[in-house]
Every structure is written in structure tokens, then in C-alpha cells.
Amino acid sequence: MEHTALLYFVGPAGAGKSTLVATLQEWMQHQRYDGVAVNLDPGAEVVPYQAAIDVREKFTLKEIMNEYSLGPNGAQVVCADLLAVELDWIRGHLEEINCDYFLVDTPGQTELFLYREASKVFVENLSDRSAMILLLDPLLSRTPDGFVTQLLLASAAHLRFQIPMFPVLTKCDLLEPKEVDNVREWAIDLDKLAMSMPHLEGMSGVLSSELLRVLQVLALESNLIAVSSKEGEGMDDLYSIIQSTFAGGDDLEAHVDTD
């Protein structure tokens, strides 16, 4: 199995995972890097990229709903567990492919991917060079308390998975530039975030300040990258930070110069 790393795109439904996989893959193609897309979302109707490996060949959300007489939520849980059953099938396919990066699109519900034991087994065994691209919702992240909820999710991911995490603020075209700057500053400097927090009365005030202290300990390990798949923004920043983790340096300029 020859690849630089396998990247899981994880985040809430609608955060832009599938679109980011497609946009980053296209960007990589332009730069002559080889990004191979893998779809692990059995609930996807259509995906905006050509998947080299697609879990829907094995099962779809609709099939599981029918087979087990479940609604979509119950079926999502069964699907999350079935993923682990297909570990060998997927690994077999990965082993036949040589590329720079596998771009792995994951199911809509973050919590299913983060908290089910099956996906932990899956992530720990699929590749020994994995990372997680953690998509933060832009509309939630632009308020201090909303951003804290996103940091909590990031902290939970840190606790669950011992792999590099790259937090990404998606759809930044939906925010004012000033709002994007604010969020990025909060990510770097949690004291600034604390000062921006509204001084809430009672329970939520206590909760937020205690939470911030925990988050200061579990702080994000890398800069928050702002991307917009719509505008094609931030792909170079995202690539650079991944590349410097896995290939020991940003080879972007060197690579572009080779032609």
C-alpha cells in the first residue's frame, strides 16, 4: 500500500465534507498530486466526485432501513457498525492503489463517526498514516459560544483518535472576512475567546468558563484553516499543513516548478 496519508473528512451533516473532497481532489489534480476519493457514506444519494472505492457497493442506508425495518436514524447506527465489517474489503482495495492522498468522505452524523466503537476500530486499522480533517460549521463558529461547541467536538475527536487533526472552517464565503479573522484568532488564542464570551449569568456562565479551561489544556494542535469550496479558497493552505505533517515539508513550490 503506497500512499502518503489517508485523510478522513469528518463533520456535521451539511458542513461541506463531500464538496471539500471534490474540490481538494480537483485542486490536487491541477497541481499534479494524486488524490483518490473514497466514499464511506452509505446514505449519500450522489457524490460530487468519482469515488475509487464506494461503500454503497456493499450496502446503502435505504437497504439497511428496509432490511431491519428502521428509520433513518436507527439505520445510521447499524451502518456505522457495518462499516467495521467491511474493513478488509476496503483495505484490499486501498492496497491496489498507489497515490499521494486518500480523501475519505464520511457519513453525515459526526457523532456516529466519533463515538461508535466500530469507527475507532476502523480508523485504527485501515492505514498507519491517517489524519482527520475536522470541518467546523461556519455559522455556528462565528459566535463565541457556538465556537466553543465546535471546540468541544474537536476535543472529543482528539480524545478518541490518536491521529493528527486538522480543524477547518468551511464555507468561509458565507462569513464576513472580519468574522473569519475573529474565529481564526480565537483558535490561536483562547484568552481572546474567553474575553469575547458573553458574561452569562448562572449555569451557562459557569459552564463556559470551566469548559474554556479544559479546552485550554486540550487546545487545537494546528492553526484553523479557512476554506471555501465554492470559491476554491484555502486549498493550498490545507494541503501545506497536511504535507508538512506527513512529508516533512511543504513541497508545493518545488512541485509546481517541475514542469
Ligand X SMILES: Nc1nc2c(ncn2[C@@H]2O[C@H](COP(=O)(O)OP(=O)(O)O)[C@@H](O)[C@H]2O)c(=O)[nH]1
- Contact residues: ligand X, CB under 6 A: 11, 13-19, 108, 170-171, 173-174, 228-230
d(CA 169, CA 184): 9
User: What is the rounded CA–CA span in Å between residue 95 and residue 206?
Assistant: 50
Q: Which does 228 bind (CB under 5 to 8 A by kind): Mg ion, ligand X, none?
A: ligand X
Q: Which does 52 bind (CB under 5 to 8 A by kind): ligand X, Mg ion, none?
A: none
Quick one: which H or E segment has residue 64?
Answer: helix 61-68
Give me the least distance between CB of 74 and ligand X, in Å please: 19
SS3 98: strand
CB of 56 to Mg ion, least distance (A): 12
Interaction between residue 208 and Mg ion (CB under 5 A) = no
Nearer to ligand X, 49 or 246 (CB): 49
CB of 211 to Mg ion, least distance (A): 29
Q: How many CA atoms lie within 13 A of 104 on its CB side?
A: 24
- Confirm or reject binding of residue 60 to Mg ion (CB under 5 A): no
Residue 230 binds which entry of ligand X, Mg ion, none, CB below 5-8 Å type-dependent: ligand X
C-alpha closest to that of 112 among 45, 43, 212, 169: 43
Beta strand residue intervals within 30-107, DSSP E: 35-39, 51-54, 98-105
| CB closer to ligand X, 13 vs 200 | 13
Query: Which of positions 17-56 make contact with Mg ion (CB under 5 A)?
Result: 17-18
Q: How far is the CB of 121 from ligand X (least distance, A)?
A: 23
Q: Do 140 and 149 form a contact (C-beta atoms < 8 A)?
A: yes
Our CB check for ligand X shows the closer of 38 and 215 to be 38
Query: In angstroms, rounded to a whole number, what is the distance separating the alpha carbons of residues 147 and 139?
Result: 9
Q: Which is closer to ligand X, CB of 75 or CB of 193?
A: 75
* CA–CA dist 242, 166 (Å, integer): 8
Binding site for Mg ion (CB under 5 A): 17-18
